[in-house]
Amino acid sequence: MGSHPPHYHTLAYIKQVTKNYSGLNKFIVAHINTAHETSGSRLNVADKDFANYFKEVFEGFDTENEDFVFMLAGDHGTSKGDFMSIEGLAERVLASHFVIANKELVHRLKADRILRTNTKRAVSRYDWYKTLKALSYAPYTELGTETKEYKEIRTELDSVSLFHEEVDERRTCSDLGVNPVFCVSKQFVSVPKESWDKLAVNYIVQEALKKMNSFLTKRCTSVSLGNIIKVESLSFDPTNPEKSTNLLIHISLSNSEDSYYLLYATRGHQNQFNNLKAKTTYGVFKRDTIRVAGKSTIIISMLNKIMRLGPLLDLSELKDSGHCVDSMRYNHNLYLSRRNETCHETCKALRLDCNRPVYYESTLDYILTLYPESKVVGEKDSIEIIEDTVVIGKDKYCSNKSLGRNVCFCSMVSENPWEGVD
Digit-coded pLDDT (tens) for 307-352: 999 888 888 888 777 777 887 888 899 999 988 899 999 999 988 9
Q: How many CB atoms lie within 10 A of CB 307?
A: 24
Rounded-to-integer distance, Cα 154 and Cα 147, Å: 13
Residue closest to 178 by CA, chosen among 123, 99, 241, 233: 123
User: Percent helix, strand and coil across the chain, each rounded to 5?
Assistant: 30, 25, 45
- Same structural domain for residues 32 and 113? yes
Would you state the pLDDT for residue 384?
87
Q: Could you tell me if 335 and 318 are in contact, meaning their C-beta atoms sit under 8 angstroms apart?
A: yes
Is residue 155 domain-resident?
yes
DSSP letter, residue 311: S
Would you state the pLDDT for residue 380?
65
Residue 416 has pLDDT above 70, yes or no: no
> Alpha carbon of 260 to those of 88, 103, 196, 256, 350: distances in Å?
27, 48, 19, 9, 19
- Partnered with residue 21 across adjacent β-strands are none
Amino acid at 107: H
Q: Could you tell me if 163 and 134 are in contact, meaning their C-beta atoms sit under 8 angstroms apart?
A: yes
Last residue of a domain, one of 164, 181, 198: 181
- Same structural domain for residues 320 and 265? no
**Tens-place pLDDT, residues 84-106:** 778 888 888 888 889 999 999 99
- Same structural domain for residues 162 and 199? no
Q: Could you tell me if 377 and 391 are in contact, meaning their C-beta atoms sit under 8 angstroms apart?
A: yes
Model confidence, pTM? 0.78
**CA distance from start to end of the chain:** 57
> Which helix H or strand E contains 181, and what residues bound it?
none
Query: Which of 44-48, 217-221, 276-280 bottoms out in mean pLDDT, i.e. has the lowest?
Result: 276-280
- Same structural domain for residues 82 and 194? no
Pairing label, strands 225-235, 244-253? antiparallel
Last residue of a domain, one of 288, 310, 332: 310
Strands (E), 125-191: 189-190
Residue 217 has pLDDT above 90, yes or no: no
Task: Compare 379 and 220 and report the one with higher pLDDT.
Answer: 220
**Tens-place pLDDT, residues 134-177:** 999 999 998 999 999 999 999 999 999 999 999 998 899 999 99
Rounded-to-integer distance, Cα 18 and Cα 403, Å: 51
Is residue 149 domain-resident?
yes
Q: How many CB atoms lie within 10 A of CB 192?
A: 7
- Same structural domain for residues 327 and 299? no
- Same structural domain for residues 293 and 233? yes
- Same structural domain for residues 168 and 44? yes
Is residue 1 domain-resident?
no
Residue 359 has pLDDT above 60, yes or no: yes
Would you state the pLDDT for residue 420?
47
Last residue of a domain, one of 261, 281, 310: 310
Mean pLDDT of 362-379: 85
Residue 29 has pLDDT above 80, yes or no: yes
Mean pLDDT of 238-249: 85
> Which helix H or strand E contains 295, and what residues bound it?
strand 295-310
Q: Could you tell me if 403 and 382 are in contact, meaning their C-beta atoms sit under 8 angstroms apart?
A: no
Query: Which of 37-46, 70-79, 358-367, 391-400 bottoms out in mean pLDDT, i.e. has the lowest?
Result: 37-46
- Same structural domain for residues 72 and 89? yes
Helices 6-20 and 41-64 pack at an angle, to 10 degrees, of 10
- Same structural domain for residues 206 and 158? no
DSSP letter, residue 174: G
Quote the number of domains for the chain.
3
Is residue 299 domain-resident?
yes
- Same structural domain for residues 292 and 336? no
Mean pLDDT of 23-29: 92
Q: Could you tell me if 231 and 250 are in contact, meaning their C-beta atoms sit under 8 angstroms apart?
A: yes
Q: Could you tell me if 104 and 113 are in contact, meaning their C-beta atoms sit under 8 angstroms apart?
A: no
Confidence class of residue 46 from pLDDT cuts 50, 70 and 90? confident
Rounded-to-integer distance, Cα 96 and Cα 87, Å: 14
Confidence class of residue 278 from pLDDT cuts 50, 70 and 90? low
Would you state the pLDDT for residue 261?
94
Rounded-to-integer distance, Cα 351 and Cα 177, Å: 45
Domain assignment of residue 286, given as a range = 189-310
> Which helix H or strand E contains 344, and what residues bound it?
helix 343-349
Q: How many CB atoms lie within 10 A of CB 234?
A: 17
- Write down the mean pLDDT value for the chain: 86
Pairing label, strands 375-377, 383-386? unpaired
Is residue 343 domain-resident?
yes
Q: Could you tell me if 136 and 164 are in contact, meaning their C-beta atoms sit under 8 angstroms apart?
A: no
- Same structural domain for residues 158 and 236? no
- Same structural domain for residues 76 and 147? yes
Residues 6+ apart with CB under 8 A from 391: 377, 378, 382, 383, 384, 385, 402, 404
